[in-house]
Amino acid sequence: MSAEPRIVHEDEWLAVVEKPACLVVHSAPGHRGETLVDALGDLLGGGDDPQRPGIVHRLDKDTSGLMLVARGEEAHRRLAAQIKAREVRRTYVALVEGRPRSRAGTIDAPLGRDYRAPARRAVGGRGPRAARTHFMVLETLPADALVEARLETGRTHQIRAHFAAIGHPLAGDPQYGHPGRHGLTRQFLHSARLGFTHPFTDDEMEFSSALPDDLAQALEVARAG
């Protein structure tokens, strides 16, 4: 059974939760087992899809970290509008194979379904949609680089597919890179910071999440070379 999500912030309108790895956000065809929606239960509310109440954005199953969820219809509507307007600040920490040529940059490349593997996303794939990822190298390691990635758009597998496209897949990524790198059992990707304007109080909200143990241990292995 997956670890339980942790509630970082909760008020009458919304919540910020820390999702563990190996937990799917909501039910989908072919999935069996508990989801984040199941674990949070009555905390969630709002939206047109009964399979994903309160969900305004998502993380991949094996991506850990911070998520913003709604607790009612009006909160869902306002938060979804902020996501669509790209007003929610979502920053991730990732370990990528190799060293990017620049210390900072933007990967601006539309993503669609990979023609050969529909579960993957690829630059120029089927039905491409605009996708932009801003990144900054935090630390260079013997064979990898620790990077901060900020989403401007939020496409499926965006960070994973974008870094793979420039030749630097995420360490341990079973779909886009090399599984098992540095002892990882998943991709090294963590939703580390989340910022937004509260849709009801107008307060500026900022939250951060430390690397979970498995990623912290992999980072130490990568640093040792």
Which residues are annotated as catalytic? 60
In whole angstroms, give the CA distance from residue 119 to residue 80. Answer: 25
The b-or-e profile of 157-175 (16+ CB within 10 A means b, else e) is bbbbbbbbbbebbbbbbeb
Show Cβ contacts of residue 202 under 8 Å, excluding neighbours closer than 6 positions.
none
Q: Are 90 and 197 in contact (CB under 8 A)?
A: no
Per the structure block, which two tokens stand in for 130? 């605009």
